[in-house]
Structure 1
């Protein structure tokens, strides 16, 4: 399908401008991003977001606000008493925070919620004429064969049948999109984790499900039609297929970012080993520290990339009068 607007080219062209796969957008006089409370007629998107290079998304509004404050400190942009207002104040669906070239957005839980957010987020980046954007989902997950607190960098997002694809019904037709993620980005993030040396990190496939209970083979939901033996056979088969964690957003995140020219990655911490149980029972302070691990890894990645982009500072030159 054709991209919207003449400026939306293939990745690698026009400084990797964000693309849309919808020719209708170019004909619209106004684009209302309803669930963000933003509109192209009331907000200057290039002025507000044109410098964005990193977009980090996660389920929880409070977690994404904590992340933007953490990144601000890492980048030296924080100061005592600093506040980071929610850009989406006109709605209670999602929250959005920005500091420097970093945008932090909440997406709720599950494929429908993150998909709605991504449609509007990608349009926002497109209208802002952002280029060279890296998108990273940071979140929590259930591990398979990993100790709780392990961080998984996703190699491939797969569905509940272990297939690397995202399926959606569009006008009664089955549309299947691939869930490729950027291999180079995976390697860069793994190197950043090695640099930090603070917590175990692995690269593996991530299974994205439509449900937290039956869809993830839990035995503790309101409905259950299988046995512990059935569950163990399924999870062991998942492990054999290279799956190391389970969550509920990776497949649509990977497919939409891939389709629109965004370099993307998924970085999630495991809160439990699903081979050993279904319920998350670690103390709150332990879980809170676990949830900070993807933030620390991605924050380090952003800091390293921005430092590399700036390069070594050239010595200041003096003017004719000897002043700089």
Structure 2
């Protein structure tokens, strides 16, 4: 219990030159913190021993994709002899948390509500584990606007459906605005990890974070739709004129929470289609699977670069 009190002393932990902010004085009163959705506890598990070396946390939607990424980054870091990455959230079917050396590979499901749950528990995890200089990434998929499918977008700005860089949520009946402030240095460093020899393009752009997959992204093929194709294309052109390059469903909450926790974070997503060409995917699964590795390659290069600099 003494160790727990020491950890919670200031409800924050210095990580290099940055501090992970928990922003919750109530945690000081807990004798045990159950990270319920990943089946871990800061008392029942030695989180410092298990996760104290973590430097990077990579979030993505599907558990299977993040398992593959964990195996990929393990190979890239020369950790194959350690065996396959372990899913430390294996006692629950909510999320997956794979570890490959200093990298966590975490599934977050679809949309900000699902993301926010695992994000908060991972922030507490790295806090209790005593991690230092942690960087968060969201690596995933998106719909592009005027971009060739398979293009990787590093988000230099994230906005809501009203084109505001603000994540709005209702707390105790009150609407709270959380600013989504992008780490511009991290964005530049990520974009610079692209190579001329890549068989895909990497660009910087503005990402629109929608509230859902169908109406929120202007699609006309959902169960509900009250707009016509003409209205949709007019809206898409307006987005493009305002610099929007792609849209997905997590970036705004992810960046806003990174900023609130004082954690370096970036969003790096591949476009699976050009929304000016249609609402649904027509590309074969093999090519889609290949495209999904492109943001992983960019982030992997960044991770290797930073580890080499610190070695």
User: Using the alignment, how far apart are the partners of 2:133 and 2:11 within structure 1?
Assistant: 14
User: Using the alignment, how far apart are the partners of 2:248 and 2:23 within structure 1?
Assistant: 26
Cα deviation 1:135-179 (Å, max 9, x = unaligned): 000000000110100000001110011110000000011100111
Contact 2:38 2:92 (8 Å CA) reproduced = yes
Report deviation, 1:14: 5.8
Report deviation, 1:195: 6.2
The match for 1:5 among 3, 9, 17 is 9
CA RMSD of aligned residues (A): 1.6
Q: Which residue of 1 aligns with 2:136?
A: 135
Cα deviation 1:248-304 (Å, max 9, x = unaligned): 001111111111111000000000000110001100111011001011111111111
Alpha-carbon distance change, 142 to 169 in structure 1, aligned in 2, over 3 angstroms? same
Alpha-carbon distance change, 38 to 82 in structure 1, aligned in 2, over 3 angstroms? same
Contact 2:153 2:202 (8 Å CA) reproduced = yes
Matched residue of 1:193: which SS? coil
User: 2:244 matched to 1:243?
Assistant: yes
Q: Which residue of 2 aligns with 1:201?
A: 202
Alpha-carbon distance change, 35 to 7 in structure 1, aligned in 2, over 3 angstroms? closer
Q: Which residue of 1 aligns with 2:92?
A: 91
Cα deviation 1:200-235 (Å, max 9, x = unaligned): 011001111111000000011111101111001111
Q: Which residue of 2 aligns with 1:56?
A: 58
Matched residue of 1:192: which SS? coil
Report deviation, 1:15: 4.0
Contact 2:157 2:207 (8 Å CA) reproduced = yes
User: Using the alignment, how far apart are the partners of 2:290 and 2:41 within structure 1?
Assistant: 37
Matched residue of 1:184: which SS? helix
Q: Which residue of 1 aligns with 2:38?
A: 36
Report deviation, 1:127: 0.9
Q: Which residue of 2 aligns with 1:218?
A: 219
Count of residues in Structure 1 that have an aligned counterpart in Structure 2: 305
Contact 1:133 1:263 (8 Å CA) reproduced = yes
* TM-score using structure 2 length: 0.95
Contact 1:17 1:129 (8 Å CA) reproduced = no
Matched residue of 1:18: which SS? strand
Q: Which residue of 1 aligns with 2:3?
A: none
Q: Which residue of 2 aligns with 1:25?
A: 27
Which aligned pairs between 1:1-324 and structure 2 lie closer than 5 A? Answer: 5-6=9-10, 8=12, 15-79=17-81, 82-194=83-195, 197-310=198-311
Matched residue of 2:268: which SS? strand
- Greater gyration radius: 1
* TM-score using structure 1 length: 0.91
What residue ranges of structure 1 are gaps of 5+ in the alignment?
A: 311-324
User: Using the alignment, how far apart are the partners of 1:226 and 1:146 within structure 2?
Assistant: 24
Report deviation, 1:237: 0.9
What residue ranges of structure 2 are gaps of 5+ in the alignment?
A: 1-7
Report deviation, 1:196: 5.6
Contact 2:74 2:85 (8 Å CA) reproduced = no
Cα deviation 1:20-76 (Å, max 9, x = unaligned): 111111221100000000111211111111111100000010110111111111111
Contact 2:37 2:95 (8 Å CA) reproduced = yes
